[in-house]
Each structure stands twice: as C-alpha cells, then as structure tokens.
Structure 1
Amino acid sequence: MVKRLLARGIRGCGYLAVRYVRALLLLLALPNGLLLGWLIPPFTGGLVRLANSERERAAKYLGLPPGVPLPPAAPRRPGDVVALVRDASFKRSLRLLLMPLVMIPELVVTVIGLVGAPAGLAGMLLWKLSPGNFSLNGVNVDSWAEALTNGPAQIVGSLAVLAWVVPAVAHAHASAVRSLLAPSDSQLETARLEQRVEELTKSRAGAVDSHGAELRRIERDLHDGTQAQLVSLAMRIGIAKQTMVDDPEKAAKLLDDARDGAEQAMHELRGVLRTMYPPILADRGLAGAVSALCARCPLPVDLRLGELGQVPAPVEAAAYFVVAESLTNVTKHSAAGHVDVLMERRDAELYLVITDDGIGGARINDQADLLGRGSGLHGILHRVQAIDGQLELQSPIGGPTTVEVILPCG
C-alpha cells in the first residue's frame, strides 16, 4: 500500500516537473510570441501543436484515450490578423498561457514531496556539524530535542504530501488541461463528419472493388459455363438439321444431346443467379436460409436465432453470404470440431456471430496465405462494408476464432 502511494506520488512529481519546465519555456517565449506571432504563421501552428501535446500527455497521465486533437492552425498569410482572430484552434490554444500562473505553486508542492523527507533525514543526522544552520520544519535546529521532534514531523509531512497532495494536484492539472484545451463542439462535429466521410470513402472503394470482382466472376462463369454450353447446343442443332434427311437416327441422337445440353446450361445459369441473390431467401426467409446452410455444413453447428423482424433484402443477402463463406472457411481451414452461430436483431441492427473451436490464426488479407486462408474473409469484409456494416475478427493462435458482424437495418 505504502509503496503504491509513493510510486503514484513520484509519478505525479514527474508530471508536474515537466509541466513546470514547459511553462517556464512558454513564459520565456511569450514576449517574442506577442511581437512576432501575428506576423509569422509558424508561431501560431507551433502553439496549437503544443496544446495538443499537453492534452495528449494529460490524457496519458490520467490513463485515458487521447481524444480528438485540436485541428491544425488555419493557413494564413503573414500579418493576416483577421484569419488569426477567426482561428478557433489558435484561440483555444491561448489557454496554455494559464500554465505559468500555476507553475510556482505546483513546483513548491513537487519540491516538498520529493526533497522534504531526504532533507529532514539529513538535517536530523547532520545538524551537529553546524548547529543553528540546519532548518527542520522552518525551525533552526541547535539541539537533539529539536532535531528529533521537527525531523520526523518534516519527514511524515513530506511523505504525506508526496502520497496524497502531489497526485491530487497533478490530477487536477491534467483534468484542467484536457478540459480547457478540448476542441469546441463545432470542431468535434467537423472531426466526426470528416472521419465519417473517410470511412464512407473507404467502404465505397471496397464496395466498388467487390462489385467489380463479382461482375468479373459472373462474366467468367457465364463465358466458361453457360456460353460454352449454348454454343455447343447451337452446333448440335445445326448438325442435326443438316443430317435429318440423310440420317434421321443420327439427327435424333444429336437433338437428344442438345436437349441434355440445354438442361445443363439452365442448371449452370441457375447456379450463377443463385450467387447473386439466393432463391432460398425468397422462399424461406433469412432464418430458414441460414438454418439450411447450417444443416448442410459437414461440422456440427449450434444455431441460435433470435427475433429478426423485417430485414431489408441487401442485408439478408449479406448476412446469408457471411454465414455461407464463414462456414466454408471453417470447414476448409480451421480444423474445428464445432461451430456456434448466433443471429439476432438488436434495435436497428442485425447482429451475427460465428465462432469455431479451431486452430485460430485467421487474418483478413487481400490474397490467400500459404494455407489458402484470408481472401475469403476479405471478401466478407467488403460485402459488409458495402452496406455500411462492421466486422470484427478475433482469432488468436490456438483458437477460438470469432467473426462478429453488425449490419444496419434502418
């Protein structure tokens, strides 16, 4: 307990000591800043960066996330005072000038906490070397009675300051820095919108890439499968037409082959269409389609379905393919013996979790790794991001692997 209190106090002393040095440098630079800051734009940008640095260190001391920083200083021409006055980040960073006002009291608390106990111990032991010239608790010591009375009192008081007062002052300073140098509500809203635009830009790019890859796959399937069957069908019908008069039996056989080819072409065409929007979703709904997927999986699957409500068609398709691709990945690569699937509606979102007890180590990669893993999960990510959903993968080495997907239904 005592060790922890002292460690907390020493950490607070370190924080306050660095703040004192920074406040002193800021105070020394203040005259030049007042004279040249309006004229030289880098002075403005430097003050904003210093404010962000102080806020980041305060958050680190408090054990909190750094939060949204102040936006960079607005670009301006030298001497452009109007742009300087309108710069919200610069005006917020001016609150740093409050640091020199508290630097001396904080330094006094820091020195008492760090030096008081060692100085008290030294005074108790060494006062005899120069009686009356050693001070303990503000009293000049010239007898053992004063040394043994004031010395322990100074040591106990200093340790109390180190254990409780210093951390309280440091915490108050860090909290004030985080509050005073925080961006305004309008700046926070702008930062949120910028982050949202960046996320949507990335998801749109992923959706476009995924859509392009899907179109190329469909084109390849039609070209290599259905189109080849139709060309062969046309050739057989042509040959049968030419041989119908001279060899009716051969023509009949060719027509039978053409009929079989037409049925195969229709079967392949239905397979291609099924990858675009599975008919089972229209026939049995999302719950029934996912149940069929789990029933067909060669591994034991524990499916838990909650109340799904009305789910938009794009979300249904995305959820169906997420489950299908995840079960395929588990079967091929995870060496799992059991799979858990949870699907339920949570307010305006569809919540989906697939967990297996396999070897783990799954990653989301553009290309498959040496074991063939990764590209399937990357396709799932693009499919989820295309409808503004979220995907989180947890797959430590040794397992288990959990794919958690949240799809908006609003």
Structure 2
Amino acid sequence: MNGSRTGRRVARMLTACGRGLVQALASQFAGVPLLVGSLLSVVFLPLGLGVLTAPLLLKGTRAFADTERRWAREWSGVPIASPYRPLPRTEPGLIGRIELCRELLKDPATWRDLLWLLVNVPVGALLGVLPAALLVNGLGGLLVAPFLVAFTSAHHLYWTLNIPLGALCLAVAVFGAPLFVKAHALFCSVLLSPGRGQLTARVDSLTDSRSQVVDASAAELRRIERDLHDGAQARLVALGMNIGLAEQLIKHDPEAASQLMMEAREHSGQALSDLRDLVRGIHPPVLAERGLDGAVRALALTMPFPVDVRIELPGRPEAPVESAVYFAVAEALTNAAKHSGAGRAWAQLGHEDGRLVAIVGDDGMGGASASPGGGLAGVERRLAAFDGVLVVTSPAGGPTIITMELPCALSSPRT
C-alpha cells in the first residue's frame, strides 16, 4: 500500500516537473517573441507598418493565453474565464485590417494579455524550472554527494552538508512540485481573468439585452394576440353566427341555410389558413423538419430575385439559435426585396471557431442600417440574446453586406 502511494507521488512529481518545464519554455520561446512583436506592431501602427502584423500577433497572444487557461484548468483545476469581446467579421483588404486592429486595441483584455506576457517571462520561468531544479539537486545530494564523501578528501564538509540538503530538496520536489504548477495557474488567473470593469460591463450588457428580449417577447405576444383577435377569432365568430342562423333557417328556407353553411365552410378554411400563417410566423414547420439548411433554401425560393445560397454546417444548432438565425436571414432578405432594388442576393452560412456565421448580401442601392425601430434593429436585439453581433456594411450605391455571428455549438450530424 505504501509502495503504491509512493509510486503515485513520484509519478505526480515527475508529471509536474514536465509540465513546469513546458510552461517555462513557453514563457520564453512563445511569450517573449509575441510580446516584443506585438509591442513593436502597436508602436508602428501610426506609420502603417503594424497594420499587417498587429492583428496576427495579437490573435497569437490570445491563442497563447487561451492555451495557458486550458493548462490551468486541466493541470491544476483552476478555471479562468475568457474575457474577450466578440470580434465582428471584417472586410478583406487594408480597411478590414485597420478595423480589426481597432477592435483588438479597444478590448481591455488585449492589454491585460500583454501585461501578463511581460510578467510571465520571469514568473513562468521561475515557477516552471523550480520543481525540476529541486529534483535534480535532491538526486545529486543523495546519489553523488555520498560517493564524493567516501572517495575524495577535498571539500569533505561541503559534500557532507549536501546530503541532508539533497534529501530536503527531494522531499520538497515530491510533495511540492504540483503546488508550483498550481501557483503558476493562480498567477495566470489574476491577469487572464476578466477584470472587475469587464465583469460590470458584461453584467450591464446582459441586463440590457435581457430587457430588450423581454420587450421584444411582450411585443411579439401582443402581435400574436392582435392577429388572433383580428384574424382567426373574428372568422370563428362569423362561423358560429352563420351556423346558428343556418340552424334556424334549415326548416323554413333550406336554400338560404345551405348558402350560410357554404359561407361557414369558407370562414373555417380562412380561419385555418390564418392559424397556419400565425404558427408559421412563430416557428416555421420547414425549420423543424429540414433544419436551418433546408429552411433557408426554401426561403430563398420565395424571393422575387435569384438568391445564391451556400451553407456549410456539419451539424444542427440548438432550436432557439436555429430559429433566431432563420428569422434574421429572413428579415435581411425581405429588406433587400422591399427596399434595395436588388437584382440578385446571396446568403452564406458556416460554422468556425465555435461561432455560427451568417452573411446576407445584395447588389442593390445600399443605404441599409440597423436604425432604431427598423427590422435590422430587431434582428440585432434577437441576436444579442444569444451573445451575437450584427454588422451592416451598406455604402451608397451598394452592395449591402449584413454579417451576423453568434456563439453556437452544433449537434453531431445524423448518420
């Protein structure tokens, strides 16, 4: 029993030593180049020299920081939340690079990452190398020092003192190596976690988006109530009145009763059609039956102009996300049909880096915007409920490109 426990401790120590060395090497050979390159790119941004390199290096810094977050969670059980704001999809070319640089530099997490890179150079090296150094020193004191004491006379006292010192170092390595790795994880959590200001802003954003969603839900319920009252309910009332009159006339005037029954049948068909339209507006049956891919393709066929559809989704999103994206694409295409004067449009859907991306464009006159009270503003509120973003690029003369992104996990594709 003691032997197996000792074996597990030795295994944990050796694992911790290896992980510490990995972190130490990463802090020097990944952290230092990223820090120097990022700072130089930012310094030379006003001259235009850093526009090409800054986004690449700052994204590399984020990837390195995310790797440290994953190590902290998997190796030491220290969870570190990601503090980054979602980055909107930008246009290709120089303008897109400038916009991406601006978004990255506006995020406070970018500057916290750079501060972490700077401090992690000495701290990561010290905490990473220390477990392996204690192990090597301990083994040297217990294995090499006795040999030198026994067979050499030079520095006899020095090597004698190294024996208990080596035993102490080895004991600290065996029991403390995992603690050094955890200490590094805790250090990273201080700088790589969202700051208080970010958390406050996040809470405010969630509160605002929740309020908007509640308002939108209330408005949707009022619309459904109004449609039921003015549509299906009115037709059903007329249906009941016609049937009642037909019952009174069926003995004295069968022909008039027959006419009323025909009208009642028409009212019932119209009421059923109204109810189907209402249900289709809440959650289209084609969306439930064929998924987002089939629903968007079916939607494209109803447009008055040709719509080029390209969809690459390896699985299905969750139902609320699927519904939100479908209605967002529908609103964008409907706006294009009503207001843009476009001759053609396109819709692209894809999934990358844990985000569902939908792009809807047209070759119309441009000038679209997510102005308050407009349809695109409603789309923006709908996506905000899922932590999504909407970006509208619509210069005068066109084309209009509407990009929508939201975090989304896909289910496994059906086999």
Counterparts of 1:67 and 1:297, CA distance in 2? 40
CA contact (8 A) 1:334 1:358 kept: yes
The equivalent residue for 1:398 is 397
Residues 292 and 316, structure 2, Cα contact 8 Å, conserved in 1: no
- Provide the C-alpha distance between the structure 1 equivalents of 2:295 and 2:107, rounded to a whole number of angstroms: 43
Q: What CA distance in whole angstroms lies between the structure 2 residues aligned with 1:279 and 1:194?
A: 40
Deviations 1:137-167 (A, max 9, x none): xxxxxxxxxxxxxxxxxxxxxxxxxxxxxxx
1:276 aligns with 2:303: no
Does 2:383 align with 1:384? yes
Q: Deviations over 1:15-58 (max 9, x none)?
A: xxxxxxxxxxxxxxxxxxxxxxxxxxxxxxxxxxxxxxxxxxxx
How far apart, CA to CA, are the structure 1 residues paired with 2:201 and 2:354?
22
Counterpart mapping for 1:5-404 below 5 A: 65=105, 68=108, 185=191, 188-367=194-373, 375-404=374-403
CA distance in 1, matches of 2:295, 2:358: 14
Counterpart residue identity of residue 280, structure 2: R
Letter in 2 for 1:388: D
Q: 1:288 to 1:68 in 2, by over 3 A?
A: closer
2:360 alignment partner, SS class = strand
Q: CA deviation at 1:331?
A: 0.8
Q: Distance in 2 between matches of 1:240 and 1:395?
A: 59
Q: CA deviation at 1:243?
A: 1.0
Q: Could you tell which deviates more after superposition, 324-333 or 204-213? A: 204-213
How many aligned residue pairs are there?
Answer: 229
**Cα distance change, pair 316–329 in 1 and its aligned pair in 2 (3 A):** same
CA distance in 1: counterparts of 2:193 and 2:404, whole angstroms: 31
Please give the TM-score of this superposition, normalised by the length of structure 1. 0.53
Change in CA separation of 1:342 and 1:186 when aligned onto 2, cut-off 3 Å? closer
Q: Quick one: distance in 2 between partners of 1:211 and 1:299?
A: 32
Query: Aligned partner of 2:282: which letter?
Result: M
* CA–CA separation in structure 1 for the residues paired with 2:314 and 2:381: 23
Counterparts of 1:256 and 1:343, CA distance in 2: 47
Structure ID, larger Rg: 1
Describe the shift of the 1:186–1:354 C-alpha distance in structure 2 as closer, same or farther (beyond 3 A): closer
Q: Is the 8 A contact 1:337 1:357 kept in 2?
A: yes
Pick closer, same or farther for the CA change 1:269–1:381 going to 2, 3 Å. Answer: same
**Residues 216-239 of structure 1, C-alpha deviations (whole Å, 9 max, x = no match):** 111111111111101100110111
**C-alpha separation between the residues in 1 aligned to 2:377 and 2:262?**
44
Cα deviation per residue 1:320-366 (whole Å; 9 max; x = unaligned)? Answer: 11111111100111122221211012242211001112211111122
Shift of 1:310: 2.3
Assess if the C-alpha contact under 8 Å between 1:342 and 1:353 holds in 2. yes
1:242 and 1:400 mapped to 2: Cα distance? 64
Residues 245, 223 of structure 1: alpha-carbon distance in 2 compared, 3 angstrom cutoff: same
| Alignment CA distance shift 1:269-1:187 (3 Å) | closer
Judged with a 3 Å threshold, the aligned counterparts in structure 2 of structure 1 residues 318 and 68 are, in CA distance, closer, same or farther, namely closer
Amino acid at match of 2:404: V
Q: Tell me the alpha carbon deviations over residues 258-285 of structure 1, each in whole angstroms, 9 at most, x when there is no partner.
A: 1111111011001001100000112222
Deviation of 1:188 after TM superposition, in Å, equals: 4.9
Q: Secondary structure at the match of 2:397?
A: coil
CA-CA distance at 1:308 after TM superposition:
3.9
Query: Identity across aligned pairs (percent)?
Result: 46
Q: CA deviation at 1:65?
A: 4.0
Cα distance change on mapping 1:308 and 1:217 into 2, 3 Å = farther
Q: Is the 8 A contact 1:308 1:350 kept in 2?
A: no
Alpha carbons 1:68, 1:188 under 8 Å: kept: no
Structure 1 gaps, min length 5: 1-7, 12-62, 70-183, 368-374
Instruction: Work out the CA distance in 1 between the residues paired with 2:333 and 2:316.
Output: 24
Alpha-carbon shift at residue 303 of structure 1 (Å) = 0.9
SS at match of 1:365: coil
- Separation (CA, whole Å) in 2 of partners of 1:195 and 1:338: 40
Q: Decide whether aligned partners of structure 1 residues 186 and 321 sit closer, same or farther in structure 2, where only a CA change above 3 A counts.
A: closer
> What does residue 25 of structure 2 align with?
none
The answer on whether the counterparts of 1:309 and 1:345 sit within 8 Å (CA) in structure 2 is no
- TM-score w.r.t. the length of structure 2 is 0.52
Consecutive unaligned residues of structure 2, counting only runs of 5 or more, are 1-42, 47-101, 110-189, 410-415
